């Protein structure tokens, strides 16, 4: 049975034990929430397609929490065509490309422009110079079915369960732009295959992620504990009571690796979620327990905005960092408050994993255990207090 079917939490344990590489992966966005998981899993001794040599690209200097992965780190601004050509065109041994990054702008038109440009820059720097390149994994998400954040409540979305064969919605969506760039740049290249991966809300570890719900909630809980106040659910009752789905970051990475090496996954798009459902009212108890908070829950008719709550909390976070000897971070770096308000402010839309299973990927996660494992990781790397 293949290792990605085991559904194991924290599977990234064994280390690479060979220097004879069968595959060479290039991870664009290696410090992101799925990029960090790819950086851990690809070098493992039993990863399919391996042993793997791994290059990792990110815009910032390499952080301490990513430094123990056996990855050749490349600091590069992929929005800068000159910088990317200078630093990536020499990577002639790359066999697999994992694109797991994005940039956020104020409008979706701008998102389409900047994200399309970044992805095209990468492909045009790598494809002509890497003759052994076999597969490209592109990560997007369930906004493919619901539309961009700015259109929430304004545009009708598809009726769940969301399946990969649903047509595109009208209006700009940078996920559509990314797919179109992928199709254009791989056209007339029969030996170069691709896959598109559409995770739901991702549970994972990255203090740099633009959409990290667990890291954001850990910071919120740590501040509530420090101030001795209840852990109020900062969302709507619809989100509190309804079924939700999540995508474990390791699972998303495993699905991408599966698609990169399994011929049956070529040139297909796949949803990716844990394969179960949860309710936020149940995970909220787990979060409270993880931070030793006895008073928690939702207050009827009282919706708390984390964007508003976080204003003026910068010095409180500095105290928490100092008192607990945490890694030096800023509140605005860790807390993606707008994203948490969005996720916790509406009923979740469930997506189907049938296509993925029908094509041979049987990976899954227990969402409660997944949630706990990532909270533990934020604590272990001293991003939040124990």
pLDDT per residue as tens digits for the range 119-168: 999 999 999 999 999 999 999 999 999 999 877 767 788 899 999 999 99
Q: Which of 196, 116, 108, 115 is nearest to 149 (CA)?
A: 108
What is the rounded CA–CA span in Å between residue 59 and residue 149?
24
With 60 as the cut, is the pLDDT of residue 190 above it?
Answer: yes
Confidence of residue 5 (pLDDT cuts 50, 70, 90): very low
User: Which residues, including other chains, have CB under 8 Å from residue 176's CB and lie 6 or more apart?
Assistant: 112, 144, 168
**pLDDT tens readout for residues 344-381:** 999 999 999 999 999 999 999 999 999 999 999 999 99
Active site residues: 143, 175
pLDDT level of residue 7 (50, 70, 90 thresholds): very low
* pLDDT for the residue 324: 98
pLDDT tens for residues 47-56?
999 999 999 9
| Least confident stretch, 18-22, 26-30, 121-125, 369-373 | 18-22
Can you give the pLDDT at residue 1? 29
Paired strand residues for 247 = 202
* Percent of the chain whose pLDDT exceeds 70: 95
pLDDT at 2: 46
Say whether pLDDT at 193 is over 60: yes
**Span of 13-17, 209-213, 361-365 with lowest mean pLDDT:** 13-17
CB burial readout 147-168, b (16+ within 10 A) else e: bbeebeeeeebbebebebeeee
Which pLDDT does position 10 carry in this prediction? 52
The β-bridge partners of 96 are 25, 135
Position 152 scores a pLDDT of: 72
pLDDT of 179 > 50? The answer is yes
Q: Residue 367 to residues 139, 278, 306: CA-CA distances in angstroms?
A: 21, 7, 23
* 19 pLDDT above the threshold of 90: no
| Closest CA relative to residue 307, chosen from 345, 348, 346, 349 | 345
Residue 202 in this model has a pLDDT that exceeds 60: yes
Transcribe 64-82 into DSSP letters.
Answer: GGGTTS--EEEE--TT-HH
The backbone torsions φ and ψ at residue 203, rounded to the nearest 5 degrees and listed phi first, read: -95, 120
Calpha distance 204→367 (Å, rounded)? 11
Residue pLDDT, tens place only, 219-262: 999 999 999 999 999 999 999 999 999 999 999 999 999 999 99
CA-CA distance, 5 to 11, in Å (whole number)? 11
Among the residues of the chain, which ranges form H helices?
Answer: 35-41, 81-88, 108-126, 143-146, 174-186, 213-227, 237-241, 249-261, 280-290, 306-309, 314-324, 331-334, 337-343, 354-358, 367-380
Mean pLDDT of the chain: 94
Bridge partners for 248 per DSSP: 203
Measure CA 352 to chain center. 18
Structural domains of the chain sorted by starting position, each given as residue range(s) with its CATH number in brackets? 3-204+246-276+350-364 (3.40.50.720), 213-243+278-343 (no CATH)
């Amino acid at each position: 049975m293949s290792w990605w079917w085991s559904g194991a939490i924290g599977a990234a344990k064994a280390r690479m034990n060979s220097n004879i590489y069968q595959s060479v992966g290039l991870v664009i966005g290696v410090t992101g929430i799925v990029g960090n998981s790819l950086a851990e899993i690809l070098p493992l001794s039993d990863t399919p397609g391996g042993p793997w040599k791994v290059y990792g690209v990110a815009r910032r200097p390499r952080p301490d929490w990513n430094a123990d992965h056996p990855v050749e780190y490349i600091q590069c601004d992929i929005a800068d065509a000159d910088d990317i050509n200078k630093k990536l065109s020499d990577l002639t041994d790359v066999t697999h490309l994992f694109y797991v990054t994005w940039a956020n702008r104020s409008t979706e038109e701008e998102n389409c422009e900047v994200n399309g440009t970044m992805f095209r820059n990468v492909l045009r720097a790598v494809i002509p110079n890497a003759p052994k390149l076999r597969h490209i994994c592109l990560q997007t998400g369930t906004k493919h079915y619901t539309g961009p954040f700015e259109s929430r409540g304004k545009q009708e979305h598809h009726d769940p369960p969301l399946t990969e064969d649903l047509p595109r919605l009208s209006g700009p969506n940078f996920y559509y732009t990314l797919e179109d760039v992928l199709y254009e740049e791989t056209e007339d290249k029969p030996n170069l295959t691709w896959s598109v991966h559409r995770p739901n809300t991702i549970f994972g570890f990255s203090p740099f992620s633009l959409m990290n719900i667990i890291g954001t909630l850990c910071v919120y809980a740590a501040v509530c504990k420090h101030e001795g106040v209840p852990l109020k659910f900062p969302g709507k009752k619809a989100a509190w009571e309804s079924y939700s789905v999540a995508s474990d970051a390791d699972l998303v990475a495993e699905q991408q690796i599966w698609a990169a090496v399994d011929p049956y996954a070529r040139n297909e798009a796949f949803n990716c979620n844990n394969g179960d459902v949860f309710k936020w009212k149940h995970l909220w108890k787990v979060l409270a327990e993880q931070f030793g908070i006895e008073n928690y829950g939702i207050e009827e008719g009282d919706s708390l905005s984390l964007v508003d709550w976080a204003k003026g909390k910068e010095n409180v976070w500095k105290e928490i960092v100092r008192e607990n000897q945490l890694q030096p971070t800023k509140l605005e770096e860790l807390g993606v408050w707008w994203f948490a308000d969005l996720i916790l402010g509406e009923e979740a839309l469930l997506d189907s994993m049938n296509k993925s299973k029908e094509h041979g990927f049987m990976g899954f996660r227990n969402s409660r255990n997944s949630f706990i494992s990532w909270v533990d990781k934020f604590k272990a790397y001293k991003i939040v207090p124990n």
